[in-house]
């Protein structure tokens, strides 16, 4: 796992052909806005989270965020333990995100 600042995250993401953005917040949090082109899997779903993550391609590079950076750090650690090649945690999370956002 790498902890990335907003700037590092955006720069690295732009140049990464293997990138997948993973949002691990709750459905309610996602309704308030999200980073475009993300895949949403709520880490609070416990085993359901594990089951969904197991379907992902472990060779890709995962850019993971939550509201503040704590749950995403947990998700990175979990994915690392499951054999994922690269995980990146967004420091400060969505609450400090200054990049592009979308809403449903």
Active site residues per annotation: 66
How far from 31 is each of 23, 59, 88, 102, CA to CA, in Å?
12, 29, 23, 9
Find where tokens 């939550």 sit: 66
Between vectors from CA 102 to CA 80 and to CA 6, what angle results, nearest 5°? Answer: 50
Please answer whether residues 77 and 36 qualify as being in contact, where contact means their C-beta atoms are separated by less than 8 angstroms.
no
């Amino acid at each position: 796992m790498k902890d990335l600042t907003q700037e590092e995250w955006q720069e690295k993401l732009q140049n990464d052909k293997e990138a997948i953005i993973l949002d691990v917040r709750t459905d309610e949090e996602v309704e308030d806005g999200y980073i475009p082109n993300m895949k949403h899997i709520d880490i609070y779903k416990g085993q359901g989270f594990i089951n969904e993550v197991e379907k992902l391609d472990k060779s890709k590079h995962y850019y993971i965020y939550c509201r503040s950076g704590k749950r995403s750090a947990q998700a990175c650690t979990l994915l690392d333990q499951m054999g994922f090649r690269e995980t990146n945690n967004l420091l400060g999370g969505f609450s400090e995100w200054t990049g592009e956002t979308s809403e449903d």
